[in-house]
A = this chain, B = another copy of it.
Amino acid sequence: MVINGWQDVQDEVLRRLQARIWKPGELLPNEADLAAEFGCARTTVNRALQVIADEGLLERRRRGGTRVLVHPTRRATFNISLIRREIEQQGYAYGYRLLSQRHERPPAALRERMQLQPGIRIPHLKALHSADGEAFVLEDRWINVSVVPEAAHIDFRQQSANQWLVENIPFCGGNLALSATHATNVEADLLAVDTGTALFTAERHTRNSAQVTITNVRLLYAPGYQMQLEL
Contact A229 B178 (CB under 8 A): yes
Stretch in A80-88, A129-137, A145-153 touching the partner: A80-88
Chain B residues, CB < 8 A from A121: none
Which residue of chain B lies nearest to A78 when distances are taken between CB atoms in the complex?
Answer: B76
Contact B76 A80 (CB under 8 A): yes
Q: Is A25 an interface residue (CB 8 A)?
A: no
A26-68: contact bitstring with B at CB < 8 Å (1 yes, 0 no)? 0000000000000000000000000000001000000000000
Contact B73 A231 (CB under 8 A): no
Chain B residues, CB < 8 A from A14: 170
Q: Which of these, B173, B196, B206, B229, contacts A176 with CB under 8 Å?
A: B229
A8-35: contact bitstring with B at CB < 8 Å (1 yes, 0 no)? 0000001001100000000000000000
Q: How far is the CA of A14 from the CA of B166 in the complex (A)?
A: 15
Contact A176 B73 (CB under 8 A): no
Q: How far is the CA of A18 from the CA of B17 in the complex (A)?
A: 41
Q: How far is the CA of A200 from the CA of B202 in the complex (A)?
A: 11
Query: A178 and B176 in contact (CB under 8 A), knowing A73-B80, A77-B77, A231-B80?
Result: no
Nearest-Cβ distance from residue A5 to partner chain B, whole angstroms? 15
Nearest-Cβ distance from residue A82 to partner chain B, whole angstroms? 7
Query: A198 and B182 in contact (CB under 8 A), knowing A77-B76, A81-B71?
Result: yes
Q: Which of these, B71, B197, B227, contacts A179 with CB under 8 Å?
A: B227
Q: How far is the CA of A2 from the CA of B180 in the complex (A)?
A: 49
Contact A178 B198 (CB under 8 A): no
Chain B residues, CB < 8 A from A71: 81-82, 85, 166
Nearest-Cβ distance from residue A140 to partner chain B, whole angstroms? 17
Nearest-Cβ distance from residue A210 to partner chain B, whole angstroms? 14
What are 10 A-B contacts with C-beta separation under 8 Å? A73-B80, A76-B77, A176-B229, A176-B231, A177-B227, A177-B228, A178-B200, A180-B221, A181-B198, A206-B231
A residues bordering B, Cβ < 8 Å? 14, 17-18, 56, 71-82, 85, 166, 170, 173-182, 196-201, 204, 206, 221, 223, 225-231
| Top 7 A-B residue pairs of the complex, sorted by shortest distance between their CB atoms | A198-B198, A180-B180, A18-B170, A180-B200, A174-B231, A180-B198, A176-B229
